[in-house]
Amino acid sequence: MYYKSTRNSSVQLSSAEAIVQGISAEGGLFVPSEIPSVSMDEIKTLGGMSYPERAAYIFSKYLTDFTEAELKYCTESAYTDKSFDSASITELSHLFDGTYVLELWHGPTCAFKDMALQILPYLLTVSLKKLNIDKKVVILVATSGDTGKAALEGFAGVEGTSVMVFYPVDGVSAMQKRQMMTQDGANVSVCALNGNFDDCQNGVKAIFTDEAVKERLSEGKMMFSSANSINWGRLAPQIIYYVSVYAELLKNGEISEGEKINIVVPTGNFGNILAAYYAKNMGVPVNRLICASNANKVLTDFINTGIYDRNREFITTISPSMDILISSNLERLLYIMSGENDELIREWFTKLSAEGRYEVTDEVKAKLKSDFAAGFCDDTATKAVIKEIYDKYSYTLDTHTAVAVKVYEDYRRETGDTTKTVIASTASPYKFSTAVIEAIEGRAEETDEFEKVEHLHKLSGYPVPASLAALKDKEIRFKDTIDREEMSDYVLRALSL
């Protein structure tokens, strides 16, 4: 198994090289040369294993240059009950007839990003060692909230690494800001930027490709790497929980051997749902993959028409982690669906950056329709479904998962498809307390974030995640706010270069 680039099929890298590089030199994303398979017998065996064991088993099919001992070290270090407040790492609950919620937010930052960012530092440091790279790795992150905190928490204290996060000064939730400003660790730094998320992202990209900055880093025996979801080291860990959940349902007698399930994913950058597509293509019996968007419904339109068009208004919603108009990981899906046609991928993605729009071939359109269904909902419908599920089933959804539940309800009504279904739940409701309280009670008091958490605790009865409760008494460490032009100086200064 080796890795090629979606924009140059002749690239051949080991998984360790792909993880260290993050993105291919010509701008393409790394994909495995083939999708490995998992048999029903193997899935049954996985049912008897712990989550770290399941993870090491699936990883061994993708990261073929890692030894068994290396994979065991990575998975056992990342998926522990010290970092996760669930012994089984993920939790599965039955919502209503044949519909299950897979809670992926029991990690230290209360969002599903932890599933990958808790293990990425181990995969990365092992990769560096395998490749005899003796440089300190500097992880630069632009975040709209969840990725930044999850990267900080994953990399804090990891030897040989340093992590720097930039967030838009007014573009993250109160809880997300607090989580980042109080981050522990000697190798971390956090800075607010006067601007929006795009300014952060463009600023980080400009630093990545600034030859003068790179030169300075190199002189200081350092190099840049990325922790966002274009890195294969973030995607691979997400495949695991989709294989794992099938093994779990089978073990619990909820489904029979070979029975197909639907998977619903609240989608932004297309990373999480792409992982489900990989699981399906490995051999996990999946009927439809249901892609749920908020009012930024560029993916719904794409799956239904084959035309990707980002020329539209950007809408700020109560599910901010899905407020996105360019879904990077779609490139990997289209590479596979076009028969690994790197020329077509270059053509489409050049058009995307020049005109903001491209249209795929009829063949790809047909493939999209056969694997995926797609839908969207706005904030009003999101709040209504939070209230409905709370009233009917005493289950409290966060705003992102609520989008998925609403889209699934619509799908089920329109198609009459009653296939058993797993809905990916991507965040704890406590991370978005204001919107969730407003949904349930019609309004939320103007109180501070921690009083809202207490209030939501009374409503939901769910234990308050210890990591969120602890924030209240933590020292604010990072107060800097800078302008876009100051970013590269800021980075160099923070690294003492």
Report, in Å, the least distance between residue 266 CB and ligand PLP: 5
Please count the residues of the chain. 497
Task: Considering only residues 153 through 172, tell me which ones interact with ligand PLP, judged by CB under 6 A.
Answer: none
All residues at 6 or more sequence positions from 284 whose CB lies less than 8 Å from its CB, including other chains: 38, 43, 242, 243, 246
One residue of 3, 270, 411, 490 binding ligand PLP per CB under 6 A = 270
CB neighbours of residue 72 within 10 Å: 17
Report the candidate in 269, 253, 233 with the shortest Cα–Cα distance to residue 119. 233
One residue of 99, 321, 421, 434 binding ligand PLP per CB under 6 A = 321
Q: Choose, from 113, 280, 297, 383, the residue flagged as catalytic.
A: 113
* Residue 268 in contact with ligand PLP, rule: CB under 6 A: yes
Alpha helices in 422-465, H assignment, sequence order: 433-441, 449-460
**Residue with Cβ nearer ligand PLP (57 or 105):** 105
Residue 349 in contact with residue 331, Cβ under 8 Å? yes
* Residue 269 in contact with ligand PLP, rule: CB under 6 A: yes
* Residue 226 in contact with ligand PLP, rule: CB under 6 A: no
**Residue with Cβ nearer ligand PLP (171 or 266):** 266
Residue 19 in contact with residue 39, Cβ under 8 Å? no
What is the spatial distance between Cα 421 and Cα 375, in angstroms, rounded to a whole number? Answer: 16
**Residue with Cβ nearer ligand PLP (90 or 269):** 269
What is the spatial distance between Cα 397 and Cα 383, in angstroms, rounded to a whole number? Answer: 10
Report the candidate in 240, 287, 215, 220 with the shortest Cα–Cα distance to residue 51. 240
Sole window of 239-247, 267-275, 307-315, 366-374 interacting with ligand PLP (rule: CB under 6 A): 267-275
Residue with tokens 């029903």: 40
Write the DSSP symbol of residue 386.
H
One residue of 247, 427, 440, 487 binding ligand PLP per CB under 6 A = 427
Q: Is 113 a catalytic residue?
A: yes
Report, in Å, the least distance between residue 150 CB and ligand PLP: 8
Number of residues that bind ligand PLP (CB under 6 A): 16
**Residue with Cβ nearer ligand PLP (249 or 276):** 276
One residue of 154, 233, 271, 429 binding ligand PLP per CB under 6 A = 271
* Residue 438 in contact with ligand PLP, rule: CB under 6 A: no
Report the candidate in 118, 116, 177, 115 with the shortest Cα–Cα distance to residue 144. 177
* Residues at the interface with ligand PLP (CB under 6 A): 111, 113, 146, 229, 266-272, 321-322, 400, 426-427
Active site members:
113
